[in-house]
Amino acid sequence: MSELAVQGINAAVKGMYEAFPYPDYSLFIPLRWQEAYASGSLFAQGLVRQKLGHNLLGEGRKRILIAGCGDVQAAIISRWEPRSHRMVGVDLSRPSLRKAKLRALMMLRPMRLQQLNLEDPRVDLGEPYAHIDAYGMLHHLANPSEGLQTLSRCLLPGGTMRIMVYNSRARQWMFQISRVFALLGLKAYDRADLQESVRLLQSMQRNVPALQDRLDGMKGIIQEPARLVDAFFHEREARLGLSYWLKAIHKAGLIPLGLMDRYAELDDLANPLLRMPADDLLQARIDDLRFENNLEFYLYKDAPPPLSAGVHAAPLNLRRRLPPLAWQRYAETKSLGIGQLWPLWQAFLSRTFQGQSSFLDRWARRIEPLALQRLSRLGALFPDQFQSRELQKLLLNPMQSTMEAPQCPGARSLTDAPELRKQMEGILLRKKLPLARMQWIEERLKRAQSL
């Protein structure tokens, strides 16, 4: 891609995130910091320790980079970084950074927040980092693989990275809907158009059975302009597959540690957070939509072990909080009470900040094995917290023998959804666009419904 084309993409993405800072949370809503328990450098080093049996980074001041930080993520992650760690957040969008700065000020947490373009060939990210978070950013670059290499170049040997990149196969239906919006002439920068797109999505939810569940799961996104635009009107969303990302990771000199299985879709595989699934097994599950989560990789750059690793006190403001709600959101864990989760939460904080916790074998004997397995897949519990080999093995083992691929109701044509058809024709008429477009819209909608 020519430098000019890259600049064009970066300018369009910048314009979008300046008009719609992401995720645009109010400065005054209380954030549940504990839900971000798996986002910091210490969590990632904990994964390294579990895999290699030792730390890869020694003591000393560490620098943490949040690449494409948006308006809230640097603040959230900073809660999980000891105060001695220097936080740096970079983003294209000035308004996002302005809000991020206010947040840092309100938290009394010094942080460097800088506007820059990661794809600018002259970019200087400063001294190397111990950990880099690039959540939901790389697929918006013109050259994602090169972007990952840029980040990796400024990662210390032994450093870690968390990246979240889209699972494009699972987002195919969203891509088709975004094409429908484009054919209807709807624009993100027009408030009336955005409202119209919300009405269309609501109407699809009522009239297109194959999209109903998918749109039900997006209610929060549909109601928030920043998130709606991010999902359906993006200026740049590279549609790339697993093999592209695995190659990019390899090219960047990084090694995958594991994958967060947020939606419990990989239960027939060994614990994917602790054992990176084989490429073909993951690809097969992406292809038939057994795995629809985005790809949330933990990565590291290899190095010899240091002589001694840093130990930090877990901050009191985390110790006093309740455990993350995310730990209780699953069939296997929803009956766990606070009495059962509290000792785990405290042990999690000790392991994360101090490098180890007391052994949890006695505690585990009172918890269902499937709940222990789920908690481990979420990164709440690690084999090195048990003395018993049998319990250690349990956490690594698959939870199910097979997982079913989702079944989808048959596709519905616009003839069977007259309300939706009328709404779309009305938009074309108002925008003075040819009604003949309905035939392409119909085709896109059909593709959005096929698996």
Ligand X SMILES: C[S@@+](CC[C@H](N)C(=O)[O-])C[C@H]1O[C@@H](n2cnc3c(N)ncnc32)[C@H](O)[C@@H]1O
Q: Residue 56 CB, nearest distance to ligand X (Å)?
A: 24
Nearest CB to ligand X, comparing residues 182 and 221: 221
Q: Residue 141 CB, nearest distance to ligand X (Å)?
A: 5
Angle between helices 389-396 and 369-377 (to 10 degrees): 60
Taking the CA atoms of 56, 114, 189 and 146 in sequence, report the sign of the dihedral they define.
negative
Nearest CB to ligand X, comparing residues 86 and 99: 99
Q: Residue 116 CB, nearest distance to ligand X (Å)?
A: 6
d(CA 348, CA 360): 11
d(CA 338, CA 346): 12
Beta-sheet pairing, 86-91 with 112-115: parallel
Nearest CB to ligand X, comparing residues 65 and 156: 65
Nearest CB to ligand X, comparing residues 150 and 357: 150
Nearest CB to ligand X, comparing residues 92 and 177: 92
- Write the DSSP string, 256-278: EEEE--TTS--TTSS-TTTSPPP
Q: CA neighbours within 13 Å on the CB side: how many for 164?
A: 13
Tokens (6 digits) for 210: 């194959």
Q: Residue 365 CB, nearest distance to ligand X (Å)?
A: 38
Q: Residue 135 CB, nearest distance to ligand X (Å)?
A: 4
Residues forming contacts to ligand X in the complex (CB under 6 A) are: 10, 13, 17, 22-23, 68-70, 72-73, 90-93, 96, 117-119, 135-137, 140-141, 230
Q: Residue 9 CB, nearest distance to ligand X (Å)?
A: 8
3-state secondary structure 107-167: CCCCCEEEECCCCCCCCCCCCCEEEEEEECCHHHCCCHHHHHHHHHHCEEEEEEEEEEECC
Nearest CB to ligand X, comparing residues 89 and 324: 89
d(CA 87, CA 117): 18
Amino acid at position 83, single letter: R
CB count in 10 Å sphere of residue 217 = 11
Nearest CB to ligand X, comparing residues 115 and 400: 115
Amino acid at position 38, single letter: A
CA angle centred on 129, ends 26 and 236, rounded to 5°: 55
Q: Residue 384 CB, nearest distance to ligand X (Å)?
A: 29
Nearest CB to ligand X, comparing residues 120 and 443: 120
Beta-carbon contacts of 170 under 8 Å, excluding residues fewer than 6 positions away, are 286, 289, 291, 292, 293, 294
Nearest CB to ligand X, comparing residues 119 and 193: 119
Nearest CB to ligand X, comparing residues 68 and 158: 68
> What is the SS3 assignment for 81?
coil
Q: Residue 133 CB, nearest distance to ligand X (Å)?
A: 7
d(CA 246, CA 286): 14
Beta-carbon contacts of 267 under 8 Å, excluding residues fewer than 6 positions away, are 261, 377, 398, 399, 400, 403
Q: Residue 164 CB, nearest distance to ligand X (Å)?
A: 7
Q: Residue 70 CB, nearest distance to ligand X (Å)?
A: 3
